[in-house]
Structure 1
Amino acid sequence: MYAYLINNILKSAQIPFELAVILAAFYGLRRSEALGLKWSAIDLINKTITIKHTVTSGSLNGKLITIEKDRTKNKASRRTLPLVDAFYELLLRLKQQREINRGLCKDSYCIDYLDYINVDAMGNRIKPNYITQHFSLVLKKHDMRHIRYHDLRHSCATLLLSNGVSMKEVQEWLGHSDYATTANIYSHLEFSSKINSAETMNKAIKI
């Protein structure tokens, strides 16, 4: 289900949305972290990605506004992760496409968000609500069960745990502030993996 979901979303999405899905599904990024990602946080030489900036939505005098911060949800959320080949190649394509868009749009291209990675064809930064709404539309288009965009983060943790990654490593990957937070959310998954291990041992040992 997980692989089918991602494949169908990527086939139907434009690059900005494709990027947001990969960041949540593979890296387990929160929506604010995915939208806050900047080119300055990407090290293409050493192939690393550092989560250190966020973009969220809020209300000011009854009006919806976008809030950008040079900090993450907590200290542990600021983390550096390896840049996998698929994401590396996507970023290179994105850089190339952006230069093409700037050339085509000329003075109409927005230059306010040049350091942000998640922008549209005109250079405008992708808004938080766009990700949430568009994700639901893609799922509906493919007659798939509705889940939240944030649930991709949970899918990431599930995939890691089911492949033998420790709870402590998952905590660091997701950027949780403490081990207890991760354990409280995903302890049932860890126990399920232990049951599978026990069943495997039971089949292998004949008494």
Structure 2
Amino acid sequence: MIRVVLADDETMIRAGVAAILGADAGIEVVAEAADGREAVEQVRLTRPDVVLLDIRMPAMDGLAAAEEIRRLLPETGVIMLTTFGEDAYIERALGLGASGFLLKSGDPHELLAGIHAVAGGAAFLAPKVAQWVIARLSGGQLARRTAAREQVETLTAREREVLTLVGSGLSNADIAGHLFVVEGTVKAYVSTILSRLGAKNRVQAAILAHEAGLV
């Protein structure tokens, strides 16, 4: 069962999202919050697998809450949920270590897919957000590719293989099956890779894998 904390200051939005999540037998909403501070507290109390954070909330916005949650409970996957698709929000959210970014205007299936992906250790970006990331990577590509390749060269051959699979969007379980190892071994590899690359999460590692030409 995937345990989720849902944070949004609009009651109707929370009710709608909770209804969508409730339709999935594998997901349980363990707590709801109406602002960022409450979201951080509920995450601290319930220790969920995933937290869904609206970006614009009173008391503490979703970005500040995401940063605090990543500091307190880095094992909890953070998904940003918003009606806004501005570049600044996307870049800041990914920079803070969010594992997913979904738009409220998106398909409900994207919401469920995102929850399952992040809970499984993978990353998930709404199609429009993914398009923005790809467009961002296309600018200044040569300089970033050179820098990324230099970083990747610090990894062992096995670590580069795991990074390539992370960049392809595979979960820890999928990578374990592909490499014929236990999932715990994959988690250890991913942790080491993130540390060596200075990446906050799998999204940043995946972007670097693309920039280095591994994917």
Structure 2 length-normalised TM = 0.24
With a CA cutoff of 8 Å and minimum separation of 6, indicate the structure with the bigger relative contact order.
1
Highest Rg: 1 or 2?
1
